[in-house]
Amino acid sequence: MNAVLLVDDERDFADTLAERLQARGFQVTTAYDGEDALRLAAGLDPDVAVLDVNLPGIDGLALLRELKKLKPQIEALMLTGQNDLATAVAGMKLGASDYLVKPVPIERLAEAILRAQERREERMEGLRMAETAKMAALGQMAEGVAHEINNPVNNMVSLAGWLEDLVGELGAGLKASSQAEAQTSTLAEMQESARKMREHGQRCKEITAKLLCLCHKDGAPARGAAAPGAALDLGLLLASLLAERRPRTEAAGVRVATALPSGLPLLILPAAGLPGTDLATALGNILDNALDAMPNGGELAVRVSTQDREARIEVMDTGCGILPAHLPRVFEPFFSTKEVGQGTGLGLSVSYGTVKALGGDIDITSVPGQGTQVLVSLPC
């Protein structure tokens, strides 16, 4: 991203330095005092802050402390005069990665910024790996719990169904033999209780099935292979999903462009389970990821077309894009490129599993800094 926050109270010096850095491909935001720097940093996500030690009001050290509270992952470089070396070293103890003595050669400053960005990326990658390992462990635990619960729940559902049938037969026998009305009422209550037991057991089975779906185990039954059931209008579904996200798109200043022609072939979904809801969740996850990539505005394009008996859904954003090293892993469960604590890494993983289960395919192409395109193909 190469985003730099440059803070210096000498305006001519700061403006000239910013122009020279921009000519070398850096995105530079300039502030002339500490208060302005904190205000700008709150609305931006800079990789590196270049801070003058001697600032009016909030000095460089105090500003560094506040920046680290506001943006813990930011890297910082201190700009100092010859007489401020001790202060600059104190800044490094507070978390600055380097200090440079004025007047600083532009090439040396650019190299220092790049080194700081590399350190930040290495640290972020380490945090992502730790978070991925933690979430993967939670996923394994969830899978184990789901398996352990699933077996007794299956027995409970079967026994509840058998009990419901048995009580029904006993009730019919009592009516035939003209037994007391009180006994018939008791049996009816027992039959209702057995029915509720079976319903709640079935609900537990659905929950464990969703947990197991997150793990994408090979050999799992494909819900898309079930007997044909409900027909889905894909255009209406996408229009509804976009309408749900309209407050978010408007708040972020994201322009939405759609091409949802009428008369598209209907998608035939399985009759059993909740695949229609799953598809809505899968497409919703893709839309949410696109909006996450454009926190400060951009354009979201959603198009639907048909080709060779397939429905093709394109979701394109003009956001930050995905690094080539991360692109092959985007469908892995619990992998996320978001800040630690801001994502579980399950959104695209669930989308992938749902689309595959419905007999379709999903593919992502991305250019860092230019945007991402997600293409979903489904049989229709």
Q: What is the pLDDT of residues 178-201, one digit of tens each?
A: 555 667 777 778 878 888 888 878
183 contacts: CB under 8 Å, gap ≥ 6: 174
In CATH, the architecture of 223-379 is 2-Layer Sandwich (3.30)
The pLDDT score that the predictor gives to residue 257 is: 94
Q: For residue 214, name the pLDDT band (cuts at 50, 70, 90).
A: low
Residues 105-126: tens digit of each pLDDT = 899 988 988 888 888 888 877 7
> How far, CA to CA in Å, does 215 sit from each of 138, 144, 204, 283?
11, 11, 18, 19
Q: Is 378 exposed, middle or buried (0-12, 13-18, 19+ CB in 10 A)?
A: buried
What CATH class has 3-104? alpha beta
Residues 333-346: tens digit of each pLDDT = 666 666 554 555 56
pTM over 0.85: no
The pLDDT score that the predictor gives to residue 173 is: 64
Share of the chain above pLDDT 90, in %: 16
